[in-house]
Amino acid sequence: MKVLVIGSGGREHALVWKLRQSPRVSQVYCAPGNGGIAEEAECLPADVKNLDSLVAVAEQVRPDLTVVGPELPLSLGVVDEFTRRGWHIFGPSKAAAKLESSKSFAKEFLQRYHIPTAHFAICDSIDEVLAALPHFHAPVVVKADGLAAGKGVVICRTKEEAASAAAEMFSGKTLGEAGRRVVLEECLQGDELSFLVLSDGERVAPLVAAQDHKRIGDGDTGPNTGGMGAYSTASIVDEPMTQWLLQHVARPVVTGMKAEGAEYKGILYCGLMMTARGPMVLEFNCRFGDPETQPILMRLESDLLEALEASIEGRVSEGDFRWSRDASVCVVMSSGGYPGTYELGKKIMGLEDAGKIEGVKVFHAGTTRRDGAFFTAGGRVLGVTSRAPDLETAVDRVYAAASKIGFEGAHYRKDIASRAVKK
């Protein structure tokens, strides 16, 4: 069977890598892919911002299944368009993907269905921001309402900073249309958790949990990014907490979306803060996370294709996944200057040596290949990922591999999973 993966990042490389392991998959395509993906799939030129471009690729290769990686095509309605044409595609509809494409919609949805989340205010102007800020204690979180590639969240130490951050978003200079509306939130304290489930519109099946590291610098300092690393272990979430999250977060979301006429099929990513008051929803993503997908799929021992088909065909069950109890860690190597401005075209060295380390897989995110060499082609360049029987060994392996890779301006955090190792 032929499978098409839409996207070009580390998440898509991990999806391609895992789907190729299915005995039923004969050919994997990726549109547009990247330098590393091209070694494992046939990459085809495509514009993920353009539905006509994606339709043209599907008409060319006629895949038996299409898997959507990034959020933008979902928000544009690629699932609706492919489904209308009778093509099998994995992911939520445009209406269901609004849980991610509009933070204001998500917050009001959470409120309607009594799902725990932070105190918030939705603002359409700086005057509304100034009127709402007295109802918050500092620090205050300011979020752009629309899709901003993980860069639309600012944690502000003072209310003055919050007003300034909101004004910058409203200006459209940095985030464009994504910042035309903003959401103010109380700043929650605790450990973040990425809890993903597979849904068929009625039933849900949990994936193993992961913890992301969003800030650019060690010790969770500096601006937010799309994610600088993640880890997954069997001990992040125990079985009672897993069942609580299914009962009080995941299932109410799926039930509520169906009640509102937007049946939710696909991966539902619940970004949570584990606070002293209990788990609170920070955000939803309507697809596999990046970089969480890399360590999560490193632990998956069952056939990913079978699980995706169960979602499409309405037969999800909690037995759809089989997981290793090993630990896994992903460390993202980024271009110097990311998440701000950065230069492209830097030659990448040491990939072969890094890949020789036991339990290590280097997933490509922003790379291109020419004349037999790899070069940087994005902000997040690589996701160096390892698996081992315990977290400490997985961390040792991933950093041993990262130390062998070099390119001008390369940056990566040195503390991914360090708090978990200390615990």
> Which tokens belong to 22?
């299915």
- Which residue segment(s) compose the domain that 272 sits in? 191-313
Which residue do the tokens 């994995």 mark? 90
- 83 and 10, same domain (yes or no): yes
Which residues on adjacent β-strands are paired with residue 191? 274
Is residue 292 in some structural domain?
yes
What is the domain count for the chain?
4
Is residue 101 in some structural domain?
no
- 230 and 256, same domain (yes or no): yes
Higher pLDDT pick, 178 / 315 = 315
Is residue 20 in some structural domain?
yes
Q: What is the pLDDT of residues 345-393, one digit of tens each?
A: 999 999 999 999 999 999 999 999 999 999 999 999 999 999 999 999 9
pLDDT given at position 232 = 98
SS (H, E, C) the chain: CEEEEEECCHHHHHHHHHHCCCCCCCEEEEEECCCCHHHCCEECCCCCCCHHHHHHHHHHHCCCEEEECCHHHHHHCHHHHHHHCCCCEECCCCCCCHHHHCHHHHHHHHHHCCCCECCEEEECCHHHHHHHHHHCCCCEEEEECCCCCCCCEEEECCHHHHHHHHHHHHHCCCCHHHHCCEEEEECCCCEEEEEEEEEECCCEEECCCEEECCEEECCCEEEECCCCEEEECCCCCCHHHHHHHHHHHHHHHHHHHHHCCCCCEEEEEEEEEEECCEEEEEEEECCCCCCCHHHHHHCECCCHHHHHHHHHHCCCCCCCCCECCCEEEEEEEECCCCCCCCCCCCEEECHHHHHCCCCEEEEECCEEEECCEEEECCCEEEEEEEEECCHHHHHHHHHHHHHCCECCCCECCCCCCHHHHHC
Task: Tell me if 259 sits within 8 A of 112, measured CB to CB.
Answer: no
* Res 406 pLDDT > 90: yes
- 170 and 259, same domain (yes or no): no
- 127 and 210, same domain (yes or no): no
pLDDT range class, residue 257, cuts 50, 70, 90 = very high
Is residue 367 in some structural domain?
yes
Angle formed at CA 315 by CA 309 and CA 320, multiple of 5 degrees: 70
Closest CA to 41 of 55, 61, 71, 70: 61
Task: Tell me if 111 sits within 8 A of 280, measured CB to CB.
Answer: no
- 242 and 136, same domain (yes or no): no
- 246 and 343, same domain (yes or no): no
Domain boundary among 142, 165, 186: 186
Exposure string over 188-214, b if 16+ CB within 10 A, otherwise e: beeebbbbbbbbbbebbbbbbbbbbbb
pLDDT given at position 94 = 97
pLDDT range class, residue 254, cuts 50, 70, 90 = very high
Q: What is the pLDDT of residues 12-36, one digit of tens each?
A: 999 999 999 999 999 999 999 999 9
- Output the average pLDDT for the chain: 96
Average pLDDT over residues 132-144: 95
Is residue 62 in some structural domain?
yes
Domain boundary among 282, 313, 344: 313
Task: Tell me if 226 sits within 8 A of 339, measured CB to CB.
Answer: yes
Is residue 113 in some structural domain?
no
> Which tokens belong to 5?
């993966």
* Res 174 pLDDT > 90: no
Q: How far is CA 31 from CA 72, 117, 210, 408, in A?
A: 14, 36, 27, 28
Is residue 106 in some structural domain?
no
* Res 419 pLDDT > 80: yes
- 368 and 394, same domain (yes or no): yes
- 333 and 309, same domain (yes or no): no
- 309 and 197, same domain (yes or no): yes
pLDDT given at position 412 = 98
* Res 172 pLDDT > 90: no
Average pLDDT over residues 165-170: 92
Task: Measure the CA–CA gap between 240 and 165, rounded to whole angstroms.
Answer: 39
Q: What is the pLDDT of residues 55-100, one digit of tens each?
A: 999 999 999 999 999 999 999 999 999 999 999 999 999 999 999 9
Which residues on adjacent β-strands are paired with residue 232? 328
- 293 and 372, same domain (yes or no): no
* Res 423 pLDDT > 80: no
- Residue 171 is part of a domain; what is its CATH number? 3.30.1490.20
- Residue 7 is part of a domain; what is its CATH number? 3.40.50.20
pLDDT given at position 129 = 95
- Of all residues in the chain, what percent carry a pLDDT higher than 70? 100
Largest CA distance in the chain: 59
> Which tokens belong to 182?
């903003």
pLDDT range class, residue 148, cuts 50, 70, 90 = confident
- 401 and 295, same domain (yes or no): no
* Res 142 pLDDT > 90: yes
pLDDT given at position 319 = 80
- Residue 346 is part of a domain; what is its CATH number? 3.90.600.10
Q: What is the pTM of this model?
A: 0.95
- 332 and 230, same domain (yes or no): no
> Which tokens belong to 218?
């060690």
Domain boundary among 169, 186, 203: 186
Is residue 256 in some structural domain?
yes
pLDDT given at position 318 = 80
- Of all residues in the chain, what percent carry a pLDDT higher than 90? 93
- Residue 248 is part of a domain; what is its CATH number? 3.30.470.20
Q: What is the pLDDT of residues 265-306, one digit of tens each?
A: 999 999 999 999 999 999 999 999 999 999 999 999 999 999
